[in-house]
Structure 1
Amino acid sequence: MSEQDEWGSHASDYAEKASSGPQIESVNGILAALDALLPFEKATAILDNGCGTGIGIKALIDDYSARLPDSVRLMAADLSPGMVDVVRKVKTENRGNRFWDALEFDVWGIEKMSGAKGSSFSHIIASLVMFFSPRPEDAFSEAYRVLKPDGAIAMTSFQKNGWIELCDVIGKIRPDLKMPSLPAEWASEDWIRGQFEKAGFRDVVIKPVHVSKDIDDPQEFAEFLVKTNNPVVSPILNLFTAEEKKKAVDMIVSEIRRVNPGSSPKISNVLLLSSARK
């Protein structure tokens, strides 16, 4: 694993904690939106772009394999070699399943899919990845380039992220440090629609999806947030002293309980589910 592969170092933690909540709801919504735009019976090649630990490709095979053509090409790609390696292991664990056996891999960024020819894919899954792009116009244009005519893309971004809001709370411990924040444009339906249309897409549909994640143990969850290798927050939290990290855990637990008085603890999120056709 590359020393720069920060997401790869977070892969095992991510896989463990992403079995419920926004990641799952994001993928389920994306697959339903893609199927509505271009039924999976007509799929020729499907790309899980920014595949992470393979949540998207796994849901596709688990839930839609009965409708996929035998000849369909499946690919999982991510900028992080470590994340791709996790999906390779899942492929090995599912040896004997024809769709897993045929799964291809590549390592690339969403702004430059260097291994993909133009008009290669009938469907693109882009779950909670596009908003990481420092060059959104390039990301949308590249997705347009690799889609076949009439091909479909569906993606998600956060309009509200309860996890980021918890980071705002612990930011009070070190006001000299800038905590991560949601890119405001990716929370705007009008802005996202404009990006799709500027790249040439049509039939753009955007809708909010409310998602909550149950927190079984606020203490355990808070410790995970503070001690995780998540590249979004770890560069900042690594500057905290041990005492400050302990205080951060306590503040997160208090905030979770404050916003969930008399109820089972949960974190609330709002996704923007966006889909379009080339």
Structure 2
Amino acid sequence: MSQPHINSSNDEWNKFAPSFMKLATDGPGVAPAQNMVKVAAEVFPFSSASAILDIGCGPGQVTAAALEAHGLELPETARVVALDLSPVMIQQVENRKKTEIENGATLWNKVEPMICNCTDLSAFPDNSVSHAFAAFVLFMVPQARVALDEIRRVLTNENGGGIVALSSWQGSEWMELIGFVTKVRPEKSAPKMPPTWATLEGIRGELEATGFRDIEVHTVEAFMPFNNYDEIARFILTQFPGMNKMTSDMSREELEKVRNLMVEFIKSRHPVAPGRLTGTAIVGVGRK
């Protein structure tokens, strides 16, 4: 049986969006987002930004990192656009924008949430974008190179060429936990990272194949905090995208066995709670 790759449907992401917001400010995507913004700023200063795209924005972690670190440097005319294919996820970003502004983070007034497929960026003209970010999204896109071609098209030729920064997963404890379903039901197949997107060499190759240059690829440690073992096990088992499909035909007893195995694993790796599950992200950066 072939190994399924991570490729959750839009419906799954719509269902996952409210739960995903729990990870918005203290989840595994935060440190990689901050790193992507930092590295991009070193190549193309945000003070010269024309438009910033947060592609597959999820809860807006890259948007938040960019505004926090460089929001005051942005030209008045610069756009900050948060793009996602999931209407429910975009609604979550709208809600976050409203909350951030109410809490005094007025830079969020610049944020434009937009429903958009990353393989079709026709809403943006050629050479109109200075910074394009794609955090943990392209490995789920069946036509990832089409998306990269679109990103390269919209990036500017000015200031040495616009910058793309993307991220993927080399591995993580939460992905290991997803696979525990197969310990109870061996005939099932747990989703895996596509091999190309799980290595530094693979991601470099994707950027090179789509014409990017000055490519730099590195790893970033990431963490998923948890308060207690049972809570994080139940969250992964019931809230992660793709899990409902894997577990829909499992009995309550089988699900309880999976949860118990998850708890045992987490305790073996992290004897003290609260704690943090660990993962390793890959960040790739390239110029047009």
Give the TM-score, by structure 1 length: 0.92
Matched to 1:254, the amino acid is E
Residue 51 (structure 2) aligns with: 45
Matched to 1:13, the amino acid is S
Q: Deviations over 1:232-271 (max 9, x none)?
A: 3221122221111111111100011122356864322111
- 1:162 paired to 2:170: no
- 1:27 paired to 2:40: no
Residue 67 (structure 2) aligns with: 61
**In the alignment, is the contact (CA less than 8 A) between 1:74 and 1:99 conserved in 2?**
no
Q: Deviations over 1:47-69 (max 9, x none)?
A: 11101111221222222212111
* Partner SS, residue 122 of structure 2: coil
Cα distance in 2 between the residues matched to 1:191 and 1:237: 31
Cα distance in 2 between the residues matched to 1:242 and 1:263: 26
Cα distance in 1 between the residues matched to 2:60 and 2:26: 14
* Partner SS, residue 130 of structure 2: strand
**In the alignment, is the contact (CA less than 8 A) between 2:46 and 2:73 conserved in 1?**
yes
Cα distance in 2 between the residues matched to 1:141 and 1:212: 31
Report runs of 4+ in structure 1 exceeding 6 Å deviation. none
Cα distance in 1 between the residues matched to 2:217 and 2:195: 16
Identify the range of structure 1 (151-160 vs 63-72) with the bigger mean alpha-carbon deviation: 63-72
* Partner SS, residue 88 of structure 1: helix
State the identity %.
29
Identify the range of structure 1 (58-67 vs 191-200) with the bigger mean alpha-carbon deviation: 58-67
Give the TM-score, by structure 2 length: 0.89
Residue 81 (structure 2) aligns with: 75
* Equivalent position to 2:128, from 96, 120, 124: 120
* Equivalent position to 2:189, from 170, 178, 195: 178
**Number of matched pairs:** 275
- 1:234 paired to 2:244: yes
Cα distance in 2 between the residues matched to 1:117 and 1:98: 27
Deviation at 1:100, TM superposition (A): 2.3
Distance 1:65 1:139, change over 3 A: same
* Equivalent position to 1:273, from 261, 279, 283: 283
Cα distance in 2 between the residues matched to 1:218 and 1:141: 42
Deviation at 1:188, TM superposition (A): 1.8
Q: Deviations over 1:105-149 (max 9, x none)?
A: 321222222322222210011111111111222121111111111
Deviation at 1:176, TM superposition (A): 1.4
**Aligned residue runs from structure 1 range 167-206, under 5 A:** 167-206=178-217
Residue 6 (structure 2) aligns with: none
Residue 137 (structure 1) aligns with: 145
Cα distance in 2 between the residues matched to 1:168 and 1:243: 17
Cα distance in 2 between the residues matched to 1:238 and 1:123: 40
Unaligned runs of 5+ in 1: none
Matched to 2:242, the amino acid is V
Distance 1:91 1:212, change over 3 A: closer
* Equivalent position to 1:215, from 213, 226, 251: 226
Matched to 1:215, the amino acid is F
Identify the range of structure 1 (113-122 vs 181-190) with the bigger mean alpha-carbon deviation: 113-122
* Equivalent position to 2:14, from 8, 11, 18: 8
Root mean square deviation, CA, Å: 2.0
Cα distance in 2 between the residues matched to 1:221 and 1:263: 11
* Partner SS, residue 266 of structure 1: strand
Cα distance in 1 between the residues matched to 2:39 and 2:244: 33
